[in-house]
Structure 1
Amino acid sequence: MMNTILTTQNLTKKYGDKIAAGNINIHIREGEIYGLIGRNGAGKTTIMRMISGLSSPTSGSYEIHGEHSRGVGVLIESPGVYNNRSAFDNLRIKCIAMGCYSKEYVDGLLKTVGLTDTGKKKVGSFSLGMRQRLGIALALAGDPKLIVLDEPINGLDPQGIAEVRETLEKLRDEKGITVMVSSHILEELGKVADSFGIINNGELIQEFTSEELERRCGQYITVNTDDNEKAMEIIRSLGIENAVLSGSKIRIDEHLDQTAAINKALVTAGLAVDEIHTTNISLEDYYLSLTGGKHDD
């Protein structure tokens, strides 16, 4: 059983009469990657700023449990760096401020985020992905056991996204660091996160683990013919009782290995099969089913 490292109790932030985040109750387990999902303006950054101590809640509270109460590492928006200095120099300055400077310590942080080979190269010439990894290293200064990253893959190319994803997995799997990360690129978040929280209009509407997401999503067969009512009868005659009409198409949540048999039976019965395939329900599909509409890109 994993211990909880952070909880919030009715955490709320108001700006005048506007509630940016209201009565948020989040539970993050030690050693996991927690993905915070929501449209732009949904309240993700507001929550992260409060948890990181960068903004005071209007009401409610949060608690970092156990021996990890010494602080939270933060990367919100672009990392604040000196473009005319190297990655080592930027980290050295941060570590001196944190009271934890040694050359070996800084070299260790650079190794953790895959920037050991940058030498004296100035940060101003770094790719966006390299800058984000340097930002993660800066968040790690002082050895926090929880780091908070707001949209760390926003604007990155596929290579940069893969590098940041691998860095987060390394922090979790090799360093035992808990990561809270927000992103609107749900496909990527779905690859790396162990638990999720969905924020909509300043409210936390659901929390679930990756295992629970898999059970709620999974796969199903989509069928569409020129006569779906008759197709339903034929499909059920095959012993498939869970076929249902969903909108203008037929959905079958089990018997995923019987696609060929279903197709053959429908064609034999004289139906024109316009569509038959296995559909994957993604994190994005599930998110949209809960919130409606399209998320902002």
Structure 2
Amino acid sequence: MEYILTAKDLIKEYRHSAKALNRFSIHVPKGAIYGFVGENGAGKTTFIRMVCGLQAPTSGTYTLYGVKNTDKNILNSQKRIGAVVETPSIYMDMTAKNNLKQQYQILGLPSYDGIDELLHLVGLDSVGKKKVKHFSLGMRQRLGIAIALVGSPDFLILDEPSNGLDPQGMIEIRELILKLNRKKQITILISSHNLDELSRLATHYGFIAKGRMVKEITAKELEKVCRKCMKITVTDTTVLAHVLDIMNIEYEIISDTVANIYGEVPISELTLKLSKDNCYITTLHEQAETLESYYINLVGGANHE
């Protein structure tokens, strides 16, 4: 697998404080929407600022487009990143177009070609001469992303892009992120507390706690872990397994009397078939782990080592 960004054993120490990053590692695949999950103070923003070249690690390394942070060519790799860290860098008394022109000048681009296309891409092509101070929060977020896209980066880092947005604003940001990833083939790393919204976007996840990567997992792997199942208690799981095999239903035997059954289960048919072999159901309970509960169980353990 090809990775845009990796890190190994990164440490970031500040005077008179705990390590912001503590032997931190990460693997962001090319083409992914990577959900970067952790509570405040876990080290997410420290790592993002490091990758963007705003801070240096105390020790350890990260690699961006195959170039190590200790290599002098790392600056060229960092130029391929677009980022919205904490709050969008926008001028409130300017129009959206003038904000983009300002970014073109900062990057030293030779012309303003592409500004109209960028405004259209983020859904701000009809704002005209309206100043940004009169924009909604969602519009400002989309403008921030447009500014991050100046220079045509192929890796976009977004720090809490849906923070404070109303439902409509969240939908607009979600649709924009999906469009950038699927149509523009931009790899995106999203740091977010909004796990419900993140679950609608991410193809990969990294869970960080106390400066350490606790778990990296794909969305498909997570879906398998969190999928709906029915916990069933019966008088004999040996009989249950035999019947479920015949019915071609996936299951997991937990003990002599308890099992998890996955997928749609015709309860009446199952009960009838079991009873023919003198096996009876005593309890049934549907359950499904959400991304939020998975995160709490995972990071909760890490926070109480």
Q: TM-score range by the shorter chain?
A: 0.7 to 0.9
Please report how far the alpha carbon of residue 282 of structure 1 lies from its aligned counterpart in structure 2 after TM superposition: 2.3
Task: Give the secondary-structure state (helix, strand or coil) at the position aligned to 1:96.
Answer: helix
Q: Deviations over 1:196-231 (max 9, x none)?
A: 1110111101111112222222221146xxxx6769
Aligned length: 286
Please report how far the alpha carbon of residue 292 of structure 1 lies from its aligned counterpart in structure 2 after TM superposition: 2.4
Q: Deviations over 1:93-120 (max 9, x none)?
A: 1111112253432112212212111111
Task: Give the secondary-structure state (helix, strand or coil) at the position aligned to 2:60.
Answer: strand
Which amino acid letter does the alignment assign opposite residue 20 of structure 1? A
Structure 2 CA distance for partners of 1:157 and 1:231, relative to 1, 3 Å: farther
Tell me if structure 2 keeps the 8 A contact 1:32–1:195.
yes
Please report how far the alpha carbon of residue 32 of structure 1 lies from its aligned counterpart in structure 2 after TM superposition: 1.5
Structure 2 CA distance for partners of 1:185 and 1:236, relative to 1, 3 Å: same
- Comparing 151-160 with 55-64, greater Cα deviation is found at 55-64
Task: Give the secondary-structure state (helix, strand or coil) at the position aligned to 1:191.
Answer: coil
Note if 1:185 corresponds to 2:197: no
The equivalences for 1:99-178 within 5 A come to 99-100=108-109, 102-178=111-187
1: CA distance between counterparts of 2:202 and 2:164? Answer: 19
Give the equivalent residue in structure 2 for 1:42. Answer: 42
Structure 2 CA distance for partners of 1:93 and 1:79, relative to 1, 3 Å: same
Q: Deviations over 1:253-287 (max 9, x none)?
A: 33632345457899xx9x9988644x333222222
Give the equivalent residue in structure 2 for 1:258. Answer: 266
Give the equivalent residue in structure 1 for 2:14. Answer: 15
2: CA distance between counterparts of 1:85 and 1:198? Answer: 38
Task: Give the secondary-structure state (helix, strand or coil) at the position aligned to 1:162.
Answer: helix
Structure 2 CA distance for partners of 1:235 and 1:109, relative to 1, 3 Å: same
Structure 2 CA distance for partners of 1:259 and 1:159, relative to 1, 3 Å: farther
From 195, 202, 209, the equivalent of 2:211 is: 202
Please report how far the alpha carbon of residue 152 of structure 1 lies from its aligned counterpart in structure 2 after TM superposition: 0.7
2: CA distance between counterparts of 1:134 and 1:166? Answer: 14
Task: Give the secondary-structure state (helix, strand or coil) at the position aligned to 2:126.
Answer: helix
1: CA distance between counterparts of 2:128 and 2:36? Answer: 34
Consecutive unaligned residues in structure 1, runs of 5 or more = none
2: CA distance between counterparts of 1:149 and 1:193? Answer: 13
Task: Give the secondary-structure state (helix, strand or coil) at the position aligned to 2:20.
Answer: strand
2: CA distance between counterparts of 1:62 and 1:132? Answer: 28
Structure 2 CA distance for partners of 1:233 and 1:127, relative to 1, 3 Å: same
Structure 2 CA distance for partners of 1:233 and 1:175, relative to 1, 3 Å: closer
1: CA distance between counterparts of 2:263 and 2:143? Answer: 48
1: CA distance between counterparts of 2:254 and 2:188? Answer: 40
The equivalences for 1:282-293 within 5 A come to 282-292=290-300
2: CA distance between counterparts of 1:56 and 1:91? Answer: 29
Q: Deviations over 1:166-219 (max 9, x none)?
A: 111111111111111111111211111111111011110111111222222222
From 79, 88, 110, the equivalent of 2:88 is: 79
Q: TM-score, length-normalised on structure 2?
A: 0.81
2: CA distance between counterparts of 1:233 and 1:186? Answer: 39
Give the equivalent residue in structure 2 for 1:59. Answer: 59
Tell me if structure 1 keeps the 8 A contact 2:234–2:282.
no
Tell me if structure 1 keeps the 8 A contact 2:32–2:203.
yes
CA RMSD of aligned residues (A): 3.2
Tell me if structure 2 keeps the 8 A contact 1:263–1:276.
no
Give the equivalent residue in structure 1 for 2:77. Answer: 69
Please report how far the alpha carbon of residue 87 of structure 1 lies from its aligned counterpart in structure 2 after TM superposition: 0.7
Tell me if structure 2 keeps the 8 A contact 1:259–1:276.
no
Task: Give the secondary-structure state (helix, strand or coil) at the position aligned to 1:180.
Answer: strand
Q: Deviations over 1:42-98 (max 9, x none)?
A: 111111111111222111222211597152211111112111111111111111111
